[in-house]
Structure 1
């Protein structure tokens, strides 16, 4: 069994000057490919079930799938609820055996975000589970505009909530399809100076790969959420498969053919952060 909590993989990353990939899953094929990639790179991995994935498939199914993969893996695997919308949702994930939850109170007023995040942290820690929170608001490409993280508010948030990891908004954007994000290094340095909590970059697909490598090695950013980049790789591989096998109709055959390309892309992501 190699189920791990977020703290169990991020604290060594913080001490060792590297980061761990939080890979956004949409189904069995990509989750299996991501664990295969982590094993090939001898690195831990964080499997993430986000709001879209949970709308598509019930949380108990995600739990069972993640835990089956973790229990058969040779590397630490974190099962992570990404962007939990309420304490109730986080409580369900904890009850189902998720080893990590994120409570996303980033749209709330600061005091409410702190109070609600702290309550989820206390619930998670009582069950031996890690908790990630977000301060500031990471925006979306072609969607809601981001609100940058204030270093003073980040220091207060970290101290008063007890989060195991803190997502920040420093130029990163969700769902970005190119690698054009500009990170505010001065703001990042100020946040690092104010707290010793491992930091998280959501929207990691939008960062130039060289910048991801640099941040992983030189800063307290210990977790990069990667989703869009991998979904694009999945889509490209599926289109290639359909073009090469126009008469194949079996779902298992089609989706299984996509896994090698997805594993290769995930290996490159993981390798960049080591």
Structure 2
């Protein structure tokens, strides 16, 4: 199956009241794990690559691996640029075959963010590439994108309305209390803010920094309009912890397949759990 657009996946999720999992693809084993989990759950998935992952694995490798997975597994798979802060990087991903891109202009002024998002939309729309934008600053660190806790800023509902009206962007990532990376305590989401934003903008809402957010909070956010939930840290944890276990139990093991294989299976397990949590099982 060819790569699908994120817009196509999210509009269906919005109508039917579930969310699509957006899982970060950092290497071959994790790409395989995402695809296998999606097939086992008969679920649509978004494989997303950050600028850091692209720098590590190479743009052509990331694109090629995800396209191979989409061809092998007969479930809807989208390839998405996560937190594209550089316009040139967005262009390169579109040219490489990504079916969706995120332009992250959250550190810009509202006016600048609108202008740059429209620039991306002007390029992406004619060729059917989905565009996600971000308004408000989500705290924490994801690859090279870092926002200090003191600088994290919740999304203003009225600014969200203006932003969507002046761009017509297909989906919007908002800041309501989540953070990238591992949480030091339990996050508390501003559901009232989420509900107000969803009332003002009639497009799918995206929740970043969702690893570590309690299951009941994720499910409530989905009921209030979140249609795309990003997961990266939980996959890294499952993958690396299993690798450590194998190495600790077998200190003389030198076959990477015997270390990375079980790590891949651990990633499959956590991704399947998330897919069920989001309500997207059997929605392919």
TM-score (norm. length: structure 1):
0.96
The residue that corresponds to 1:184 in the other structure is: 190
Quick check: 1:263 aligned with 2:268?
Answer: yes
Q: Write the distance in 1 (CA, Å) between the matches of 2:148 and 2:55.
A: 20
Quick check: 1:231 aligned with 2:215?
Answer: no
Structure 1 residue 143, shift from structure 2 partner: 5.1
Larger mean CA deviation between 51-60 and 24-33 belongs to 51-60
1:144-155 equivalences in 2 (<5 Å):
144-145=148-149, 146-155=152-161
- Aligned residue pair count: 273
Structure 1 residue 177, shift from structure 2 partner: 3.6
CA contact (8 A) 1:11 1:198 kept: yes
Structure 1 residue 261, shift from structure 2 partner: 1.4
Q: Write the distance in 2 (CA, Å) between the matches of 1:259 and 1:46.
A: 18
Return 5+ residue gaps in structure 1 as ranges: none
The residue that corresponds to 2:278 in the other structure is: 273
The runs of 4+ residues in structure 1 deviating greater than 3 Å are none
Deviations 1:189-243 (A, max 9, x none): 1101111110001101131012112222x12100111011111111111111112
Q: Write the distance in 2 (CA, Å) between the matches of 1:245 and 1:172.
A: 37
Structure 1 residue 244, shift from structure 2 partner: 2.7
| Cα separation, partners in 2 of 1:162 and 1:79, compared to 1, 3 Å | same
Return 5+ residue gaps in structure 2 as ranges: 280-284
The residue that corresponds to 1:32 in the other structure is: 32
Deviations 1:83-137 (A, max 9, x none): 1122211111111110000000000011000000111012111111100000111
Q: Write the distance in 1 (CA, Å) between the matches of 2:266 and 2:212.
A: 20
Q: Write the distance in 1 (CA, Å) between the matches of 2:216 and 2:42.
A: 21
TM-score (norm. length: structure 2):
0.92
1:112-127 equivalences in 2 (<5 Å):
112-127=112-127
Structure 1 residue 2, shift from structure 2 partner: 4.0
